[in-house]
Amino acid sequence: MAALQQIVQNNERASALIESLKSEMAGIQSQLVLRKKQELIKENAALEKEIEAALAQLVQLELRNGKQQILVPGSREFCTDAAAEAGSKPAAAAPSNGPASEAKAPSAPQKEKKVKEKKPAAAKPSPVAEAPVDVGRLDLRVGKIIEVGRHPDADSLYLEKIDCGEAAPRTVVSGLVKFVPLEEMQNRMVVVMCNLKPAKMRGVTSEAMVMCASTPDKVEVLSPPVGAVPGDLVHCEGYTRQPDAQLNPKKKIFETCAPDLMTNADLVACYKGSALHVPGKGNVVSQSLKNVNVK
């Protein structure tokens, strides 16, 4: 009889020990799952930051290379088409890292799985700091006038076709009839600003602006250096060339830069005293106008 009681007691102790071990195992398993979950959340956060940094760098690089831009919410006013795609694809892919990794974790209660299946919000591209307002925002290039004539509806305007090194010439309307003879405009090498918003002038859309040294009484078309060809980019010493795809008229970027665009005593076109030039070929110059505005 005593032996039977001993067996019963041993069985009860064994059952209690088993239950205790089960409880401890469940606790350990829950802690492991929670720890793994926290690790994955941290990894996802780090990946989101990397994506944001990469997107910001991509946008900046495309802006510097004149990539066409569109308006997108949550970013700077203009962003490239490529940057918009990049902002959606990696951001959507980032949350998938969580569930894929969690599948390898120890099995967890159904309630814990439901919590883990919640995907974090898609990362949005962080706003890119806008470039400083200076001559680097202006898309100045060398062009060649291949056709020129009087505007059909305005006696004071020339209507030009200018080769800017692109697939097709740009149509440009210039108010130079009073200052530059028609024969001097024909086949002339010029400097044009190519990222102004196209505007209609007496019914004709002008797609660029011919840069000139200007006074109230005299205007001279600026000349690129000898050896320059259509499409050559004009730089300015001390300023990074990163032109907007198209200048926003509301921001008045050109209007802000214009007072500091002048020729110097050596006839060289400058911005704040730094020469406008085509690298390896020379400076942009006027014919005779010194220390006057360029526009």
pLDDT tens for each residue of 62-93 = 777 766 656 555 544 444 444 444 444 444 44
Return the pLDDT at 218: 95
Integer angstrom CA distances of residue 241 from 46, 64, 237, 277, 278: 33, 7, 10, 12, 12
CB neighbours (10 Å) of residue 170?
19
What does the pLDDT look like over 172-194, one tens digit per residue?
999 999 999 999 999 999 999 99
Output DSSP code: residue 237.
Answer: T
169: Cβ–Cβ under 8 A, 6 or more apart, which residues? 146, 147, 161, 162, 163
Cα distance between residue 243 and residue 279, in whole Å: 17
Cα distance between residue 269 and residue 221, in whole Å: 11
SS3 278: strand
Return the pLDDT at 228: 97
Does 124 have pLDDT greater than 50? Answer: yes
Q: Decide: 124 and 74 in contact? Cβ < 8 Å.
A: yes
CA 173, chain centre distance (Å): 29
**Range in 57-71, 83-97, 137-151, 281-295 the model is least confident about:** 83-97
b/e sequence 71-98, b meaning 16+ C-beta within 10 Å: ebeebbebbbeebbebbeebbeebbeeb
- pTM for the model stands at 0.57
Return the pLDDT at 259: 96
What does the pLDDT look like over 221-269, one tens digit per residue?
999 999 999 999 999 999 999 999 999 999 999 999 999 999 999 999 9
170: Cβ–Cβ under 8 A, 6 or more apart, which residues? 143, 161, 162, 164, 192, 194, 207, 208
Return the pLDDT at 118: 60
Return the pLDDT at 58: 81
Token duo for residue 137: 């925002």
Does 18 have pLDDT greater than 80? Answer: yes
Return the pLDDT at 267: 97
Taking alpha carbons only, the member of 162, 158, 161, 159 closest to residue 142 is: 162
Q: Decide: 63 and 244 in contact? Cβ < 8 Å.
A: yes
Cα distance between residue 64 and residue 84, in whole Å: 16
Looking at the chain, the whole-number percentage of residues with pLDDT higher than 70 is 78
Cα distance between residue 231 and residue 236, in whole Å: 16
Token duo for residue 18: 């088993």
Local confidence band at 110 (pLDDT 50, 70, 90 cut-offs): low
Let me know how long the chain is. 295
Greater model confidence, 93 or 157: 157
Q: Is the CATH code 3.30.1600.10 the one for domain 135-294?
A: no
Taking alpha carbons only, the member of 87, 76, 10 closest to residue 54 is: 87
Q: Decide: 80 and 59 in contact? Cβ < 8 Å.
A: yes
Token duo for residue 198: 């196209």
**Range in 23-27, 63-67, 93-97, 129-133 the model is least confident about:** 93-97
Q: Name residue 24's amino acid.
A: E
Q: Decide: 62 and 82 in contact? Cβ < 8 Å.
A: yes
Cα distance between residue 90 and residue 55, in whole Å: 9
Looking at the chain, the whole-number percentage of residues with pLDDT higher than 90 is 54
Token duo for residue 141: 């290039």
Cα distance between residue 207 and residue 162, in whole Å: 10
What does the pLDDT look like over 27-66, one tens digit per residue?
888 888 888 888 899 888 889 888 888 887 787 777 777 6
User: Exposed (0-12), middle (13-18) or buried (19+): which is 101, by Cβ within 10 Å?
Assistant: middle
Domain range list for the chain: 2-116, 135-294
